């Protein structure tokens, strides 16, 4: 399971319970949020979908403890298109 909690301005805590529990602090700027989903889904749902996508590619223990969501696109150029499909955009 993946749990997302807003912990500050543009900052979220993501807990992944698979198979070893990990906690991640993720920054999501308003501009990047709009770019990714145009406010069609909540920040939390967007982050859950992003983490589901990431977990299909690497274990949760390989995901950085702190990062900006925009960093995923630098590592995985296909990320934004795949995320758009997941959220029905």
61-84 tens-digit pLDDT: 999 999 999 999 999 999 999 999
Assessment of whether the complete model's pTM goes beyond 0.75: yes
CA 78, chain centre distance (Å): 14
With bands split at pLDDT 50, 70 and 90, how would you rate the model's confidence at 42?
A: very high
């Amino acid at each position: 399971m993946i749990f997302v909690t807003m912990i500050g301005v543009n900052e979220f805590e993501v807990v992944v319970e698979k198979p070893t529990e990990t906690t991640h602090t993720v920054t999501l700027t308003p501009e990047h949020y709009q770019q990714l989903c145009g406010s069609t889904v909540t920040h939390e749902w967007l982050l859950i979908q992003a983490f589901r996508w990431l977990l299909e590619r690497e274990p949760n223990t390989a995901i950085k403890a702190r990062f900006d969501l925009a960093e995923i696109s630098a590592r995985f150029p296909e990320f934004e298109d795949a995320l758009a499909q997941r959220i029905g955009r």
